[in-house]
Amino acid sequence: MMSQPDRRFHYPFINCTNCGPRYTIVKFLPYDRIQTTMEGFKMCEDCHTEYTNPLDRRYHAQPIACPVCGPHVSLLVSSSGKAIKGGISKAASLIKQGKILAVKGLGGFHLICDAKNYEAVRRLREIKERKTKPLALMARDLETIEKYALLSPEEKKILLSARRPIILLKKKREIKGIAPFLDEMAFMLPYTPLHYLLLEHLDLIVATSSNKKDAPIMKDEEEGIRELCDYILTHNRPIHMRADDSVLRVVDDMPLFLRRARGYVPYPQRVPQELEIPHHILALGGELKDTISLYKNGYVITSQFLGDLDEYQNYKYFKETIHHLTKLFEVKPEVVISDLHPDFHTTRYAQKSGLPHFQAQHHFAHVLAPLLEHKIAPKNKVLGVSLDGYGYGEDGLAWGGEFLLADYSSYKRLAHFKYVPLPGGDLAAKQPWRMALSYLMDAFDSRLPQVKALEKVSKNKIKTVMSMIEQKINSPLSSSCGRLFDAVSFLVGLSPLEIEFEAEAPMRLESAAQEGIEESYGFSVKGNLLPYQISFTQTIKSVLKDLAQEIPASLISAKFHNTLARVIVSVAERARRDHGINTVVFVGGVFLNKKLLHRAKSFLEQKRFKVLRTINYSPNDESISIGQIAYGLNRLKTTQTLIK
Ligand code: ZN
Ligand code: FE
């Protein structure tokens, strides 16, 4: 005989004390139901009995609910806004028919379609205005993922964890339109009951954040979701704080965060005891891929990823988040910290705050983030290898290939990539062929050799950019490592003429790199006085020689990655010889490159260096605000400048 099904059978808002929404529904602390967006749902008698029984798994489960008293889903037609019948199973059948649905999750809406229906994927890309940026997938179970990707035991463990991040996994089988030109695809498992119910009918869906270009993820229907989809599967439990899915890779069995948000925020991080102070601090981060961090009572709390603050909507999200987190944790900032950049929105916000304001250099802040996370004591000097796209330098130039001798109090620039012009300024970061030209002129002056990749660019444009570089017109100098990757990616024919998303050209170069190659290219370290300059003239010349001999891009890429790893080792050995340094810290967005990270780390460890990187945070600009907190704590601790 069939037993009576549980009263919550197939109820999409089931939860217990171990799982369910938290960060995105809480308005105030302590975490009690009346302080969450569940306050409007009055518990029925059955739920109340469970909620108040200490032996029940739902004892004090704040979002407790059932079909009688809790939230409900509804399915709407986007064009008319009208509700239709059928709920989740109807939604699933619409997806199977190739429709695009917005589905309300924990931290906002996903845009969802059938991952194996190329026409639906193509249309979703059109709606999101994304031609090539990889789309995240949600799979019914591990077995489904294993059909398309390779999975290590550690990757399985993290996929199955309650935090349910997205993980980038090595492709086994291509799915057209999901992650073109890359060797990985992004997968997650369902993380709400609603997702589970949807995936009873489907095995693999695209589940990408519903945002308009350069705006935060949408959390309410009113934010314009109807324009992005055919149908909306929504519910009436409000989202108080929006948060994207977290994204990571697994490298050497440890997570490497590309984006830290849902599931991991706002986990507090203890600081080294020597840095504890009685004051509250607010750190605002940088500008791109921003986060904010708060300090209170020995802990740092870092926000979710907030995006590029130069976009008005993201800047609003930034202010929303400061307001929310300071209220939630009852933080009353006494000092505010920002980047050195005079024109960043964060710097201006700090100046207007009326609070004492400290500024920390971008790459220095990068280096301090893992020191704080790993509770390195003050006065321990490390070599910070800070490689990224851009950070404002002390000399006003665009830094990004930096080797800093640092502790919490200060840094000395030991070495940096040789400056090359960025022809066209910001445009140089969008059009990698400009960087290719810049590096070619650095290596060959104006007598450029034949380069096949440059045939895609009109002769006129090449001439204009060459004369810009020669005459130093709109060509600021930069030591950026990201731009060097752009140049090489373009020279070997992997980069598009114009990129669609940040790091697209470097990601393609990394994806192509052949495994198991030991060879590398030459480079030189110049100068007798600090900082040394690392010149890639030889590297570029050798790349061109290989290209002339029709060496494949996969081999050139591997050799280029090895070259960078050898540069890092070479500078580390100087730091050891001249300054007694044995700890090397890897920071900056370039270290999202799994192959470079793995290579450089193993080279250094063979030479008995200790290598540190962020484990619970992204090495990219998301960790700037954490480093700023470290700087501020040390400064307040040692100089006692905050007189009350
Ligand atoms: Zn109930
Ligand atoms: Fe950076």
Could you read off the pLDDT of 519-531 as tens digits, one per residue? 999 999 998 889 9
Question: Mean of the pLDDT values across residues 67-80?
Answer: 96
Q: Which ligand is nearest to the CA of 61?
A: 1
- pLDDT by residue (tens digit) across 21-41? 999 999 998 899 999 999 999
454 with 436: CB under 8 angstroms? yes
Average confidence score pLDDT of the chain = 96
Q: Which ligand is nearest to the CA of 71?
A: 1
111 with 100: CB under 8 angstroms? yes
- pLDDT by residue (tens digit) across 544-601? 999 999 999 999 999 999 999 999 999 999 999 999 999 999 999 999 999 999 999 9
Q: Say what the pLDDT of residue 364 is.
A: 98
Measure 438 CA to ligand 2 centroid, in angstroms.
Answer: 22
Measure 101 CA to ligand 1 centroid, in angstroms.
Answer: 29
Q: Which ligand is nearest to the CA of 341?
A: 2
Measure 60 CA to ligand 2 centroid, in angstroms.
Answer: 42
Measure 49 CA to ligand 1 centroid, in angstroms.
Answer: 9
- pLDDT by residue (tens digit) across 598-635? 999 999 999 999 999 999 999 999 999 999 999 999 99
Measure 258 CA to ligand 2 centroid, in angstroms.
Answer: 13
In order of start, what are the domains of the chain with their CATH numbers?
1-70 (no CATH), 73-245 (3.90.870.40), 269-360+622-639 (3.30.420.360), 399-405+416-613 (3.30.420.40)
The residues, ordered by sequence, that sit 6+ positions from 355 with a Cβ below 8 Å of its Cβ are 282, 333, 334, 335, 336
Q: Say what the pLDDT of residue 336 is.
A: 98
Band of pLDDT at residue 17, cut at 50, 70 and 90: confident
Q: Which residues does residue 136 pair with via DSSP β-bridges, in sequence order?
A: 186
Q: Would the pLDDT of 168 be above 50?
A: yes
Measure 388 CA to ligand 2 centroid, in angstroms.
Answer: 5
The residues, ordered by sequence, that sit 6+ positions from 240 with a Cβ below 8 Å of its Cβ are 24, 25, 26, 27, 36, 37, 324
Rounded to whole angstroms, the Cα distance separating 105 from 474 reads 46
Q: Quote the tokens at residue 611.
A: 């290598």
Q: Which residues does residue 235 pair with via DSSP β-bridges, in sequence order?
A: 73
- pLDDT by residue (tens digit) across 377-414? 999 999 999 999 999 999 999 999 999 999 999 999 99
Measure 589 CA to ligand 2 centroid, in angstroms.
Answer: 6
Q: Would the pLDDT of 641 be above 70?
A: no
Q: Which ligand is nearest to the CA of 68?
A: 1
Residue position matching structure tokens 């509770």:
375
Residue position matching structure tokens 């993380």:
191
Q: Which ligand is nearest to the CA of 45?
A: 1
364 with 371: CB under 8 angstroms? no
- pLDDT by residue (tens digit) across 264-307? 999 999 999 999 999 999 999 999 999 999 999 999 999 999 99
Measure 67 CA to ligand 1 centroid, in angstroms.
Answer: 6
Q: Quote the tokens at residue 423.
A: 């022809």
Q: Quote the tokens at residue 281.
A: 């601090």
Measure 48 CA to ligand 1 centroid, in angstroms.
Answer: 7
Q: Say what the pLDDT of residue 18 is.
A: 83
> How does strand 109-114 pair with strand 101-104?
antiparallel
Q: Say what the pLDDT of residue 369 is.
A: 98
Band of pLDDT at residue 4, cut at 50, 70 and 90: confident
Question: Mean of the pLDDT values across residues 6-17?
Answer: 92
Rounded to whole angstroms, the Cα distance separating 540 from 560 reads 9
Q: Say what the pLDDT of residue 2 is.
A: 56
The residues, ordered by sequence, that sit 6+ positions from 514 with a Cβ below 8 Å of its Cβ are 552, 554, 555, 557, 558
Q: Say what the pLDDT of residue 642 is.
A: 62
- Positive or negative CA dihedral for 147, 149, 150, 155? negative
> What is the residue type of 405?
L
Measure 45 CA to ligand 1 centroid, in angstroms.
Answer: 7
Distances in Å between the alpha carbon of 265 and those of 28, 244, 300, 367? 15, 11, 11, 22
Q: Which ligand is nearest to the CA of 393?
A: 2
Measure 265 CA to ligand 2 centroid, in angstroms.
Answer: 21
> How does strand 204-209 pair with strand 109-114?
antiparallel
Residue position matching structure tokens 């609910």:
65
Measure 611 CA to ligand 2 centroid, in angstroms.
Answer: 19
Q: Which ligand is nearest to the CA of 392?
A: 2
Q: Say what the pLDDT of residue 644 is.
A: 45
Q: Which ligand is nearest to the CA of 64?
A: 1
Measure 33 CA to ligand 1 centroid, in angstroms.
Answer: 14
Measure 57 CA to ligand 1 centroid, in angstroms.
Answer: 14
Measure 254 CA to ligand 2 centroid, in angstroms.
Answer: 21
Letter string b/e over residues 592-612, b meaning 16 or more CB atoms within 10 A of that residue's CB: bbbbbbebbbebbeeeebebb
Measure 237 CA to ligand 1 centroid, in angstroms.
Answer: 14
Measure 43 CA to ligand 1 centroid, in angstroms.
Answer: 5
Measure 197 CA to ligand 1 centroid, in angstroms.
Answer: 20
Measure 236 CA to ligand 1 centroid, in angstroms.
Answer: 15
Measure 203 CA to ligand 2 centroid, in angstroms.
Answer: 38
Measure 94 CA to ligand 1 centroid, in angstroms.
Answer: 30
- pLDDT by residue (tens digit) across 316-331? 999 999 999 999 999 9
Rounded to whole angstroms, the Cα distance separating 270 from 424 reads 43
Measure 54 CA to ligand 1 centroid, in angstroms.
Answer: 17
Rounded to whole angstroms, the Cα distance separating 213 from 232 reads 19
Measure 22 CA to ligand 1 centroid, in angstroms.
Answer: 19
